[in-house]
A and B are shown apart, each in its own frame.
Chain A
Amino acid sequence: MKILVLISKVPDTTAKISFTENNTKFNTEGVQFILNPYDEWYALVRGIELKEANGGSVTVLNVGRADNDPIIRKALAIGADDAVRIDTDDLDALNVAKQIAAYAKDQNYDIILCGKETIDYNGSQVGGMVAQLLGLPYVSLATKLDLNGDTATLERDIQGGSEVIEVKLPFVASAAKGMAEARIPNMRGIMAARTKPLNVVQPVDAANATEVVEYSLPPSKQGCKFIDPDNVEELVELLHTEAKVI
């Protein structure tokens, strides 16, 4: 069984978000970058579990420059067998998806997994785009994935409930909370990751369908209005007359 897991590099969840160059670029100064949690905790770990149960291999793929290599090595330390990095900037989801599809189309992967979204752009786009480009079914926001031969059973959340999806291999799925438990790489994994293959692949020609022209920050809260715990009626009144939410 050949499993491909798509991974992204994102700013740490506690990173301070600011911008430079007239609010056109994300300010990376002092920002620590991590493996996107949804890719790591759910997609990658479930991929490794499926490999452990069924045999085969897990390849991680990242679209980005050489400064992404530390997070790729982390994915290898957690248990992926090898890695591919497509050497281009990841500025637009459709362009990224075309890079991935161009690489994956001749590789006969049985399962392609990614996180449900990245925690920086929150787009939730690349998985579905890759599926469409490869002509594969796409199960989005899956919270559970089990295999039975060449059939997979997945659960996904829907408005006010959940649904059970059955799909034949090969397919693409995006992973949400519930699909697996995070794994912390151990020393053996970290040592082994240093020598696992990381193949750098040249990009294909593709245009950016979208581009960020400017960033902005939300207006900061006016400041908290404190209410006496013995006078909660005042809160009710303010929610009604001032905030107008009840």
Chain B
Amino acid sequence: MSVLIYAEVSNGKLAKNAFESINYGAQTAQKLGTDAIALVLGEASDAADAGKYGVSKVLNYTGEAFKNLVPEYAVAAVVDAIEKTGADVIVFPHDYTGKAVAPMLAAKLDAGLVSGAVELPDNSNGFVVKKAVFSGKAFAHTKINTDKKIISVLPNSIGKNVGDGSAEVETVSFDVSGISTSYTVKEVKKESGEISLTEADIVVSAGRGLKGPENWGMIEELANVLGAATACSRPVADIGWRPHHEHVGQTGIAIRPNLYIAIGISGAIQHLAGVNGSKTIVVINTDPEAPFFKACDYGIVGDAFEVVPKLIEAFKKFKAEHQ
């Protein structure tokens, strides 16, 4: 019995989500009185850093097969690692990678999967995992009935605890030639320079209140000052003021940053569903009746064209004082 954590790699290093998964798995192992082992597929120069987040051992599966994500190869490697470690709890990040691999693994192992976990499992009566449902509007405490248990962790839900320590890294060369799949990654396109929306700690978002795409300069500047990613509401993406990949909401991307600043967005229920996992929400809107004011922590009733430039100056001053 042990906990195996699928620690994601991005650009040759452990991904930001990996640290949270490792934390989650290590704390779960502690709760269950067992060991946690991280599984790293592909080259990660900082694999030993997994130790800082609570595991003492890393299994690093290397080889061309793991350069990009091919779900069948990843599933086979996880199954192999489960055999090696005797793991019966397997932890994934609930992101682009976890969503590709965890369901296939669950079917392969005939194991229950709870996706989008927001807390450590409760083992006081069975094995119950709290997960976000209804786009963050509620939680379902879900019991896993199978011997093997798979959990995918909602990003930014348990945070990251960094400690000392370094993990022992065992390299495993894994042969995938016996696995037949037609799945091929032909090309990987990275958006250089931009901060990834789902990974950003701070997100600055704007809506129709901005009146036109030409007015986004101040939104980008505000984001820049804060080291934030930019986002937008659905109508703004639909009329083409901003690219679709910036659309956050129920039918766009769901995000859970520490700070979400919404400018000129009224706060329709579908928009809230995509951002209600944010730790702190700031709303700037001219309309004091905007529904978003009922779902935020801090509000400014005012004209974005006056408030945002002042806010940029105030944040600049703050940053200069807190270097």
Q: Is the interface of B mostly helix, strand, loop or mixed?
A: mixed
User: From residue B185, how far is it (CB to closest CB) to chain A in Å?
Assistant: 6
With an 8 A cutoff between CB atoms, is A102 at the interface?
A: no
User: From residue B39, how far is it (CB to closest CB) to chain A in Å?
Assistant: 18
With an 8 A cutoff between CB atoms, is A229 at the interface?
A: yes
Residues of A close to B315: CB separation below 8 A: 236, 246
Residues of A close to B15: CB separation below 8 A: 159
Contact between chains at B297 and A221 (CB < 8 Å): yes
Residues of A close to B110: CB separation below 8 A: 94, 209
Contact between chains at B112 and A209 (CB < 8 Å): yes
Residues of B close to A130: CB separation below 8 A: 107
Residue ID in chain A nearest B155 by CB atoms = A159
User: From residue A213, how far is it (CB to closest CB) to chain B in Å?
Assistant: 5
With an 8 A cutoff between CB atoms, is B84 at the interface?
A: no
Question: In the bound complex, how far is the Cα of B139 from the Cα of A19, in angstroms?
Answer: 11
Contact between chains at B245 and A157 (CB < 8 Å): yes
Contact digits for B164-204, partner A, Cβ 8 Å, 1 yes 0 no: 00000000000000000111111111110010101101100
Residues of B close to A225: CB separation below 8 A: 297-299
Contact between chains at B100 and A140 (CB < 8 Å): yes
Question: In the bound complex, how far is the Cα of B106 from the Cα of A131, in angstroms?
Answer: 11
Residues of B close to A168: CB separation below 8 A: 182
**Which of B69, B141, B196 is within 8 Å of A160, CB to CB?**
B196
Residues of A close to B139: CB separation below 8 A: 215-218
Contact between chains at A137 and B190 (CB < 8 Å): no
Contact between chains at A159 and B115 (CB < 8 Å): no
Contact between chains at A137 and B72 (CB < 8 Å): yes
Could you say which interface size class chain A belongs to? 35 or more
Given contacts A216-B138, A232-B310, A236-B318, contact A160 B184 (CB under 8 A): no
Interface centre among B108, B198, B299 (most CB of A within 10 A): B299
Interface centre among A13, A128, A208 (most CB of B within 10 A): A128
**Which of A14, A133, A159, A226 is within 8 Å of B96, CB to CB?**
A159
With an 8 A cutoff between CB atoms, is B31 at the interface?
A: no
User: From residue B261, how far is it (CB to closest CB) to chain A in Å?
Assistant: 9
Contact between chains at B106 and A177 (CB < 8 Å): no
Question: In the bound complex, how far is the Cα of B181 from the Cα of A243, in angstroms?
Answer: 49
User: From residue B198, how far is it (CB to closest CB) to chain A in Å?
Assistant: 7
Contact between chains at A222 and B113 (CB < 8 Å): no
Residues of B close to A177: CB separation below 8 A: 244, 247, 251-252
**Which of A41, A141, A212, A221 is within 8 Å of B295, CB to CB?**
A221
Contact between chains at B143 and A37 (CB < 8 Å): no
Contact between chains at A233 and B144 (CB < 8 Å): no
Contact between chains at B134 and A131 (CB < 8 Å): no
User: From residue A81, how far is it (CB to closest CB) to chain B in Å?
Assistant: 26
Given contacts A210-B142, A243-B279, contact A164 B187 (CB under 8 A): yes
Not counting A17-B137, A125-B106, a sample of 20 additional A-B residue pairs whose C-beta atoms are within 8 angstroms of each other reads A17-B138, A124-B103, A131-B104, A156-B96, A158-B96, A160-B10, A164-B187, A166-B184, A167-B182, A167-B183, A177-B251, A209-B111, A210-B113, A212-B141, A213-B141, A214-B140, A214-B141, A236-B311, A245-B201, A246-B202
| 6 interchain residue pairs of minimum CB distance | A128-B103, A229-B302, A209-B112, A168-B182, A132-B107, A160-B196
B interface list, Cβ under 8 A from A: 8, 10, 15, 17, 68-69, 71-72, 75, 94-97, 99-108, 110-116, 126, 128, 130, 132-146, 181-191, 194, 196, 198-199, 201-202, 226, 244-245, 247, 250-252, 254, 258-259, 269-270, 273, 276, 279-283, 293-303, 306-307, 310-311, 314-315, 317-318, 322
A interface list, Cβ under 8 A from B: 11, 13-14, 17, 19, 37-38, 41, 92-94, 97, 116, 119-133, 137-141, 153, 156-168, 171, 177-178, 207-218, 221-222, 224-229, 232-233, 235-236, 238-240, 243, 245-246
